[in-house]
Amino acid sequence: MSNHSEAVFEKQPMWAGGRSPFNVSYGKLMMWIFLLSDAFTFSSLLIQYGAQRFSNVQTAVTTKWPDPASIFNHFPFMHGFHLPLLFVSVMTFILILSSVTMVLAVEAGHRNSKKEVQRYMFYTIIGGVAFLSCQAWEWVTFIHEGARLDGNFFGITKEGYDHLHSVHFGSHFEWDKAIDRTNGPVPFAALFFIVTGFHGFHVFSGVVINVVMYIMTVRGTFERRGHYEMIEKAGLYWHFVDLVWVFVFTFFYLI
Amino acid sequence: MEFYSKPGEFDAINYVPHTESHGTKELWKTFWLLLGITILDFVIYFVMGASGVRNVIFILFGLVKAYYIVGAFMHMKSEKVNLALTIIVPVVFVLGLIWVMLYEGDAISKSHTNHSPETHTEVHK
């Protein structure tokens, strides 16, 4: 690479050509632009969610917008217990952890340490797969509970809320389906599947990209190239997935 | 792989600036911060009842997390200001869309609830 002549290019006027005004590689700049467009995609989905939620009215056929804690209250191997928010917090933790191992791989790449890049990329892939497994479990549970893309048996009646609020965190809880539940607003379930599904698809493609990066590292492609910039670009994408999750977590589960 | 430039000329396609490691200390600090805020989210969810104030706290926490992910993990802090502005300024316009859409949604729900019960159910048939 032309690192030795970098100083020469730096002396050119910023926008006169013959140098990179942002001082980044072409590929990295394009990754940033792609992430910007992807941010718009996710914004539009989350704004849809907000608009639907604000416009929702309780009617004779559907209830008001469901309280997320009452719905996502399951935890694997703890069937029948009221554990709101716990599982999704674990998922968030997994994603943050895999973000750290990713950025450690990038840092190792800056030191051209092939072994460390390999190790941290492996951890990152494990984290991604773990997150996807968690999401699959949550979807299965949610569908089992009666949520569909085109319907939502997740309206909670007043009796249902009274029943729910009578139990404490971690105690046994089972819906009385005849009294507690009725039809809920369809967009709630539909947007849950669309937004977490779209995010999960991003995680999936991130895992695929990371596997490719891992194989390229093992085969010594980056070592021969002299730099590990591809790891950095894959890292940008991976952190963006984490960034989107921060907002999905906030708007779908917390608020 | 020199497709577009002669030797000695700036090669825009293959140009990769030299990067150096800044150590892992800041990265771990960011990790503990993100983890701490997530735990705080969890605690606040149960300590405070659902309210507008709580929602504002959650959104502010989300923005703080976003700042650290983009700044530290994505190295936006060490990029040139030009690049940072190119990416961040367009996102600011999304805020306008959020405000408009939430306002419209709220107006729809108000216009429905203001009807009498008979028309109310008819609207939703």
pLDDT tens, position by position, A2-61: 444 555 666 778 887 778 888 899 999 999 999 999 999 999 999 999 999 999 887 777
Q: Do residue B28 and residue B70 come from a single domain?
A: yes
Contacts of B112 in chain A (CB under 8 A): 57
Q: Do residue B89 and residue B70 come from a single domain?
A: no
Report if residue B5 sits inside a domain: no
Q: Which residues contact B17 (CB under 8 A, 6 or more apart)?
A: A6, A20, A23, A24, A25
Question: Does A190 have pLDDT greater than 80?
Answer: yes
When CB atoms are compared, the residue of B11, B17, B72 closest to A24 is B17
If contacts are CB pairs under 8 Å, which of residues 37-76 in chain B contact chain A?
A: 38-39, 41-42, 45-46, 50, 55, 58-59, 61-62, 65-66, 69-70, 72-75
Q: Quick: pLDDT tens for A111-153.
A: 999 999 999 999 999 999 999 999 999 999 888 888 888 877 7
Tell me the average pLDDT across A227-241: 96
- Indicate if ipTM > 0.95: no
Where do the domains of chain A lie?
28-254
CA dist B82 → A8, A23, B76, B125 (Å): 21, 10, 11, 53
Report if residue B109 sits inside a domain: yes
Q: Do residue B50 and residue B26 come from a single domain?
A: yes
Report if residue B4 sits inside a domain: no
Instruction: Output the average pLDDT for chain A.
Output: 89
| Site from B69, B77, B87, B95 to mutate, A interface, most A CB atoms within 10 angstroms | B69
Q: Do residue B27 and residue B58 come from a single domain?
A: yes
pTM of this prediction?
A: 0.89
Report if residue B3 sits inside a domain: no
Q: DSSP string spanning B70-118?
A: IIIIS-GGGS-HHHHHHHHHHHHHHHHHHHHHHHHHHHHHHHHHTS-HH
Q: Supply the range of the domain harboring residue B32.
A: 22-78
Rounded CA separation A85/B33 (Å): 20
Half-sphere exposure (CA, 13 Å, Cβ side) for A86? 11
Q: Do residue B86 and residue B118 come from a single domain?
A: yes
Q: Do residue B43 and residue B70 come from a single domain?
A: yes
Rounded CA separation B102/B108 (Å): 10
Q: Do residue B45 and residue B93 come from a single domain?
A: no
Q: Do residue B53 and residue B99 come from a single domain?
A: no
Asked if the Cβ–Cβ distance from A25 to B46 is below 8 Å, we say no
Higher model confidence: residue B110 or residue A201? A201
Q: Quick: pLDDT tens for B31-53.
A: 999 999 999 999 999 898 888 99
CB pairs under 8 A between A and B: 175
Q: Quick: pLDDT tens for B41-90.
A: 999 998 988 889 999 999 999 999 999 999 999 999 989 999 999 999 99
Superfamily of domain A28-254: Cytochrome c oxidase, subunit III, four-helix bundle (1.20.120.80)
pLDDT at B33 (0 to 100): 96
Rounded CA separation A147/A75 (Å): 17
Contacts of B46 in chain A (CB under 8 A): 85, 169
| Number of domains comprising chain B | 2
Report if residue B54 sits inside a domain: yes
Query: Is any Cβ of chain A less than 8 angstroms from the Cβ of B29?
Result: no
Token pair belonging to A96:
């943050």
Q: Do residue B94 and residue B107 come from a single domain?
A: yes
Q: Do residue B73 and residue B84 come from a single domain?
A: no
**Residue A101 · residue A210 · CB < 8 Å:** no
User: For residue A63, what is the enclosing H or E element?
Assistant: none
Rounded CA separation B4/B12 (Å): 8
Rounded CA separation A252/B39 (Å): 17
Q: Do residue B69 and residue B85 come from a single domain?
A: no
Contacts of A23 in chain B (CB under 8 A): 17, 80
If contacts are CB pairs under 8 Å, which of residues 7-66 in chain A contact chain B?
A: 9, 12, 17-26, 29, 32-33, 35-36, 39-40, 43, 47-48, 50-57, 59-62
| Angle made by CA atoms A94, A247, A126, in degrees to the nearest 5 | 20
Q: Do residue B51 and residue B40 come from a single domain?
A: yes
CA dist A253 → A98, A135, A180, A245, B35 (Å): 21, 14, 21, 11, 17
